[in-house]
Chains A and B, each alone.
Chain A
């Protein structure tokens, strides 16, 4: 039992150490907790253009550090989250947003799941109605007379 606890503690420590390494990518400290929260949210929803599957917050490349500095300076200068997003999109396009905006080009992205769900629901309703109709005309299970 105690060896299990010790092992657990080790795993937790290792996880903590890994977490610290991940945090070390971005040493930025914002002056207030509110700004810090907005800074973290923004840098996590903006894409690193060089690595593309990492957010600005997670990427160790220099360009990501430069873009984080832009985010930091804009927030400290009193810019809104939307102004920061607009700044990035004006330079790097929609691709920099992990959560794409709703535009004519991205409409299918947003609508397709809903449409697919509706199609699925329509098929489901049809199947249920058909089954119901079949059951209504069904004379019932064939009686087993036990001879076979």
Chain B
């Protein structure tokens, strides 16, 4: 009996380890953000529509917002643009854009051509704010609550699925003040 107990135990252990590995396999592409549950990084950046004005993270306090990192050089940002426009139409929460290492003129013409889903667009020429947010590839979207805490991060394009299954359930049921 004892002769089989040890190999059997080793086998069961191996199965458990592999099962955990398989369970976590779909998450391997996405790196969990350490920002979840923490204060959204502060920033003060020029406004894309009027570079003399400043978009400040402190102005965004007191309401929910979706912080969307994009750029005209980003292929998948085009794919999520329709969904962003839908989010704007739904008027559930404002979308704040971070135009990451982009050409301002190109960014403006992109918004003119495809439609502008953003309430404000902050321009991050140096990419420092993107680094503060732990951005490693556009598009990325962060859901921030009225207390300024990052509640959720979506890596990759915003899909209808992500919107209905990940973002909407995290928002309070009733209509949101200030949106």
Q: Give the distance to chain A from B6, nearest Cβ to Cβ, in Å.
A: 9
Evaluate whether A63 and B127 lie within 8 angstroms (CB atoms) in the complex, with A49-B136, A91-B133 already known: yes
User: Which residues of A from 51 to 107 have beta carbons under 8 Å from B?
Assistant: 62-63, 66-67, 70, 89-93, 95
Chain B, interface size category, equals 10 to 19
Q: B137 on the interface (CB 8 Å rule)?
A: yes
Evaluate whether A93 and B34 lie within 8 angstroms (CB atoms) in the complex, with A66-B131, A67-B131 already known: yes
Contact A93 B136 (CB under 8 A): no
Q: Which of B31, B35, B132, B133 has the most CB of A within 10 A?
A: B31
Q: Give the distance to chain B from A113, nearest Cβ to Cβ, in Å.
A: 14
- Size of interface on A: residues with Cβ below 8 Å to B: 13
Q: B32 on the interface (CB 8 Å rule)?
A: yes
Q: B126 on the interface (CB 8 Å rule)?
A: yes
Q: Give the distance to chain A from B28, nearest Cβ to Cβ, in Å.
A: 10
Specify which chain B residues have a CB less than 8 angstroms from the CB of A91 in the assembled complex.
34-35, 131-134
Specify which chain A residues have a CB less than 8 angstroms from the CB of B136 in the assembled complex.
49-50, 63, 92
Q: Give the distance to chain B from A78, nearest Cβ to Cβ, in Å.
A: 19
Cα of A70 to Cα of B126 in the assembled complex, Å: 11
Specify which chain A residues have a CB less than 8 angstroms from the CB of B128 in the assembled complex.
66, 70
Could you say which of B33, B34, B132, B137 contacts A50, with CB atoms under 8 Å apart?
Answer: B137
User: Which residues of A from 95 to 132 have beta carbons under 8 Å from B?
Assistant: 95
Contact B133 A62 (CB under 8 A): no
Contact B137 A92 (CB under 8 A): no
Cα of A62 to Cα of B133 in the assembled complex, Å: 16
Q: B120 on the interface (CB 8 Å rule)?
A: no
Specify which chain A residues have a CB less than 8 angstroms from the CB of B126 in the assembled complex.
66
Residue in chain A with minimal CB distance to B35? A91
Could you say which of A62, A89, A90, A93 contacts B101, with CB atoms under 8 Å apart?
Answer: A62
Specify which chain B residues have a CB less than 8 angstroms from the CB of A92 in the assembled complex.
31, 34, 134, 136
Cα of A70 to Cα of B132 in the assembled complex, Å: 11
Cα of A93 to Cα of B135 in the assembled complex, Å: 11
Q: Which of B101, B126, B132, B136 has the most CB of A within 10 A?
A: B136
Cα of A95 to Cα of B28 in the assembled complex, Å: 11
Contact A70 B33 (CB under 8 A): no
Instruction: Identify 28 residue pairs between A and B in the complex whose beta-carbon atoms are under 8 Å apart, listed by A's number.
Output: A49-B31, A49-B136, A50-B136, A50-B137, A62-B127, A63-B127, A63-B136, A63-B137, A66-B128, A66-B130, A66-B131, A67-B131, A70-B128, A89-B34, A90-B34, A91-B131, A91-B132, A91-B133, A91-B134, A92-B31, A92-B34, A92-B134, A92-B136, A93-B31, A93-B32, A93-B34, A93-B134, A95-B31
Q: Which residues does A use to contact B, with CB under 8 Å?
A: 49-50, 62-63, 66-67, 70, 89-93, 95
Q: Which residues does B use to contact A, with CB under 8 Å?
A: 31-35, 101, 126-128, 130-134, 136-137
